[in-house]
Structure 1
Amino acid sequence: MSAPDPRDRGGPGTPLLSVRGLVKHFGQKAGFLSKGGAIVRAVDGVDFDIAKGETLGIVGESGCGKSTTARLIMRIIRPDAGAILFDGEEVGSAALGLAAFRRQAQMVFQDSYASLNPRLTALDTIAFGPRIQGLGARAARAQAQDLLHRVGIDPIRFAGRYPHELSGGQRQRVNIARALALSPRLLILDEAVSALDKSVEAQVLNLLLDLKDEFGLTYMFISHDLHTVRLICDRVMVMYLGKVAEVGAAESIFETPRHPYTEALLASMPSMDPDRRTEEAPLSGDPPNPIDPPPGCRFHPRCRAAAAPCSRIEPALHAVGGAHRAACHLADPASGHPQSAAA
């Protein structure tokens, strides 16, 4: 068990990251076949918390806003609205400037090669951040060698190699080591293992679990692989078309999903059991256009349980037991849906 972090301002009960009303709309430029002026609602009012020491998994179809949410949190993209609180302080405020926040929150991207500078060796890549922060060259290189060893790379053999001389798994380990070089508290992993083959993926996942315990880290884990999410995540947040559809403990989400979209996602998980063959597609059609999302519940055009309220009233996240919440009229006894608990 890791010792309490001296940087902890709010105590163990305070969420490390709190996101409230996060919004990002992208404007569409005029082109040969378009008039312009249309708005893509990539992230449209997202609220969630990540407790200290937990792993929150974020899942959903491509285009649902997972990666955009991560980039908004890191301020790679500037949000249009919303508040991001880190350990009780608003990111970008006088109390917690952006540079100070980024020393405590780091991100690992999906493309391990594009994430690295091709002109820097593995050792120099990891030492770069600490040197910028004022650590001496010798100390930064010593720290980089130690981190290479901790992520399972032999510094003697690989410290002087460039990204093109490393395998995909080795490059991602270098990215993880670089993220750890500034001693962060939060690690955002955006499809960090999805580009790796399965044997290497398993090794990197085990590494992430070990590092989490060793360094007392908190993870925000974005993935399309539901099996992986179930394996390593404490809680799961399901996103659909820029909104949160459901959030709760991982076992609660996987065993008793309360949103039809979550049920469809889980039904699409591959199974090795020959008796659990998929005879019918769990979900048909493509997600609606984020430029002009449907009124009411954004999932209702594809939902088999859709009723009159679904096309008129946007559902709020409703408690369905403990910390499990679902944005579905089926979960709200007062929604007027004929199949809700009150019907």
Structure 2
Amino acid sequence: MIPAPLFSAQNLVKHFRLKGGLLGSSRGVVRAVDNVSFDLAEGETLGIVGESGCGKSTTARLIVDLISPDAGTITLGGKLLGKHISARELRRQIQMVFQDSYASLNPRLTMEDAIAFGPKVNGMSPQQAARLAHELLERVGLEPRRFAGRYPHELSGGQRQRVNIARALAFSPKIVVLDESVSALDKSVEAQVLNLLADLKAELGLTYVFISHDLNVVRHMSDRVMVMYLGQVAEIGTVEAIYSAPAHPYTAALLSAMPSMDPDRRTMEAPLTGDPPNPINPPAGCRFHTRCKHADTICAAVEPGLFGLPGEGHQVACHIHIPGSNHRNRGVEA
């Protein structure tokens, strides 16, 4: 029997209204997340990739309930958010590490106080919270005697991000959402933080949602990958399936843009041209059809749902793979 997922998001929708019309009326809505569904198994890392504006960060904020969805449900450990589990309890079990390591920390708090703040607010004594902060600093590779009394401006970017990771672990969460958490670091420091994350996952049994624009890093860190385009899921599957046999033309274009040291694999032409359509007024049908070399009549008329492919949980939203779609390239690889 397949075990129940640790976390499940079903049909999540988040639209942001634009103000500025006559007498403060709305000028439309940005469809940041539009009917997104996925599951997380305990102990896995789900990578989320896509161009800027595809909805990755909005999805991350929905996962941790920093913003509320307009529609859809979130379930953690079989408990439905808002019915069987409160937002406060959800946030204790799902923590987030943001991209900007400096803006994430209060400049007036020492590193010890920054890590201890959350536990103290939730009832832990100051002495216990201070001990916990020192333990977590030690765990993320920062000597407490050197770093506990320092302020954010006294640390490097990599050190600050280690503190943010320690702060996220203060509640012993089940899931940690990492939103471009290493993208602002130079490569040597990035490698150290990635190794730290891998070690913490193994030691503590954590589950990660890893959001990044670096496809090589996502490949290294993830068990499964979810590809997003203009607020929707284009493809989801194991790392092996996505990177070796991408089924969606958008996924194939993203992967072909990855830099390679092999001179025989040089990119001679742009794999993808043009900007994504306006999320205020996305195209009908498949949202990628305006940039897709395989686009057919049905692509502009009918929105494809996620269709299961052979392989473990491999799904794609493309008419090429949907039986009975009558796409002219039906069955052709992306």
Structure 2 Cα separation of the partners of residues 156 and 274 of structure 1? 49
Q: Measured at CA, do residues 115 and 286 of structure 1 come closer, stay the same or move farther in structure 2, by a change above 3 Å?
A: same
Q: Measured at CA, do residues 224 and 114 of structure 1 come closer, stay the same or move farther in structure 2, by a change above 3 Å?
A: same
> What's 1:188 paired with?
177
> What's 2:302 paired with?
313
Q: How does 1:332-343 map to 2 (within 5 A)?
A: 332-341=322-331
Is 1:76 aligned to residue 76 of structure 2? no
The equivalent position to 2:155 in structure 1, one of 155, 161, 166, is 166
Structure 1 Cα separation of the partners of residues 81 and 2 of structure 2? 20
> What's 1:88 paired with?
78
> What's 1:275 paired with?
264
Structure 2 Cα separation of the partners of residues 72 and 134 of structure 1? 26
TM-score with structure 2 setting the length: 0.96
User: What's the RMSD between the two structures over aligned residues?
Assistant: 1.5
1:39 shift after superposition: 1.3
| Cα deviations by residue, 1:148-196 (Å, 9 ceiling, x for unpaired) | 0110101111110000000000000000000000100000000010000
Structure 1 Cα separation of the partners of residues 180 and 239 of structure 2? 18
Is 1:18 aligned to residue 11 of structure 2? no
> What's 2:142 paired with?
153
Q: Measured at CA, do residues 56 and 268 of structure 1 come closer, stay the same or move farther in structure 2, by a change above 3 Å?
A: same
Q: 1:190, 1:223 within 8 Å by CA — same for their partners in 2?
A: yes
1:37 shift after superposition: 2.8
Moved over 3 A (4+): none
Provide the aligned length of Structure 1 versus Structure 2: 330
The equivalent position to 1:198 in structure 2, one of 187, 199, 205, is 187
Structure 2 Cα separation of the partners of residues 107 and 321 of structure 1? 33
| Cα deviations by residue, 1:84-131 (Å, 9 ceiling, x for unpaired) | 0011111122x2111111111100000000000111000111111111
1:35 shift after superposition: 7.4
SS of corresponding position for 2:329 = coil
> What's 1:67 paired with?
57
> What's 1:135 paired with?
124
The equivalent position to 1:264 in structure 2, one of 250, 253, 258, is 253
Q: How does 1:222-301 map to 2 (within 5 A)?
A: 222-301=211-290
Q: 1:14, 1:52 within 8 Å by CA — same for their partners in 2?
A: no
SS of corresponding position for 2:309 = strand
Structure 1 Cα separation of the partners of residues 29 and 144 of structure 2? 49
1:14 shift after superposition: 1.6
> What's 2:96 paired with?
107
Structure 2 Cα separation of the partners of residues 12 and 137 of structure 1? 43
1:341 shift after superposition: 2.6
Is 1:30 aligned to residue 17 of structure 2? no
Question: Could you tell me which amino acid in structure 2 is paired with residue 231 of structure 1?
Answer: H
Question: Could you tell me which amino acid in structure 2 is paired with residue 329 of structure 1?
Answer: H
Is 1:123 aligned to residue 112 of structure 2? yes
SS of corresponding position for 2:254 = helix
1:31 shift after superposition: 5.2
Identity %: 64
Q: Measured at CA, do residues 193 and 22 of structure 1 come closer, stay the same or move farther in structure 2, by a change above 3 Å?
A: same
Structure 1 Cα separation of the partners of residues 235 and 92 of structure 2? 31
Consecutive unaligned residues of structure 2, counting only runs of 5 or more, are none
Structure 1 Cα separation of the partners of residues 2 and 98 of structure 2? 28
